[in-house]
Amino acid sequence: MTILVTGAAGFIGSNFVMNWLDKIDENIVSLDMLTYAGNLENLSSLSNDSRHFFIKGDISDSELISSILNKYKPRAIINFAAESHVDRSISTPENFIQTNILGTFRILQNTLIYWESLGKIDKKNFRFVQISTDEVYGDLEVESEKFTEDNKYLPNSPYSASKAASDHLVRAWHHTYKLPVITTNCSNNYGPFQFPEKLIPLCIINAISNKPIPIYGDGKQTRDWLYVKDHCEAIRAVLENGLVGDTYNIGGDSEKTNIEVVELICKLLDSVQPRTDEVTYLKQISFVKDRPGHDRRYAIDSSKIQKELSWKPKETLASGMKKTIKWYLDNDEWIKNVVSGDYKKWIDKHYS
């Protein structure tokens, strides 16, 4: 059997594919458009794995999606493909509308045609899993209860609005056409292979490169951090045992302000790789202009998935951060290629 993973060369997608092939002996077709955020080097450990097939392509390309579905006949699709960075969504929203909304519509529509062509048992067992975010719930007041699956969608950024729109399409394709979908809403992820435009890798890389570590505004915004491998395991649990039509919140029970996160990274770096002048990395923290429309707080109540699917995060923020820092320190070649954009040249050579 086979599953199709979209956005598989990105941060969470690549971790998911590697985690899957490590735990489960089932083929994966990876589809990714290889935008600036998609890096085939993330999947290089699988280059000799005969269970893995990579296809460069766009989820908005109906002809391609339809041919992939008919050729590989996946039993499930995990849809990670998206434009994912809030700051980019503020400066260039159009790509977000294109991929997150139109792209999701196209892959849903082609999945529906494929699903309707399946025999009775395959049709019953098929799943479309939509990977979404806690950001669709909007800004949480300091005193408010954490987000549950019953919270209203109140997105505030072009990114979260486009993800909310895609989640609504997924819901409608289930309600109207009975397509067997499940949606997950996860909090902020961190871990290996995250593109260094996001807070945690940016902070680690700037710290060891002796550059300022930018904190937006007062740094008191809070996020609920989850180690990426824990997210991957939650998605596997949802795929295997989640209820069709349901949504599942996934979080790390690890709410921290941005400044707390950055201080943790600086202190861990001080002990594992002190600066040559032995001054603390905390000295590199630099408060900069705030992000427009910056949500103050997100926090996930993950009791539903914990109770119904027996999943819980294995890493605390401290243990996950130690692993993450070690990975970035051990992978300076990956960092060099990402920062210089060299991985894009490789893609252009092999795929143009």
Which residues make up the interface to ligand NAD (CB under 6 A)? 6-7, 9-13, 31-35, 37-38, 58-60, 80-84, 99, 103, 131-133, 163, 186, 188-189, 195
Among residues 34 and 182, whose Cβ is nearest to ligand NAD?
34
d(CA 232, CA 244) in angstroms, rounded, equals 19
Total interface residues for ligand TYD by CB under 6 A: 12
| Under 8 Å between Cβ of 55 and 78 | no
135 flagged as catalytic: yes
d(CA 5, CA 12) in angstroms, rounded, equals 11
How far CA 102 is from CA of 55, 229, 311, in Å, comes to 20, 29, 32
DSSP string, 231-278: HHHHHHHHHHHPPTT-EEEE--S-EEEHHHHHHHHHHHHHHHS--TT-
From the list ligand NAD, ligand TYD, none, partner contacted by residue 10 (C-beta under 5 to 8 A by kind): ligand NAD
From the list ligand TYD, ligand NAD, none, partner contacted by residue 106 (C-beta under 5 to 8 A by kind): none
199 makes contact with ligand TYD (CB under 6 A): yes
Q: Which of residues 252-271 bind ligand TYD (CB under 6 A)?
A: 258
Q: Which of residues 74-113 bind ligand TYD (CB under 6 A)?
A: 86
Query: Torsions phi, psi of 163, nearest 5?
Result: -70, -40
CB of 17 to ligand TYD, least distance (A): 22
CB of 122 to ligand NAD, least distance (A): 25
CB of 201 to ligand NAD, least distance (A): 11
214 makes contact with ligand TYD (CB under 6 A): yes
**How would you class 63 by CB atoms within 10 Å of its CB: exposed for 0-12, middle for 13-18, buried for 19 or more?**
exposed
Q: Quick one: which of 1, 12, 337 has its CA closest to 194? A: 12
Q: Which of 32, 58, 83, 135 is catalytic?
A: 135
159 flagged as catalytic: yes
Chain positions contacting ligand TYD, by CB under 6 A: 86, 188, 198-199, 202, 214-216, 221, 223, 258, 291
What is the set of active-site residues?
134-135, 159
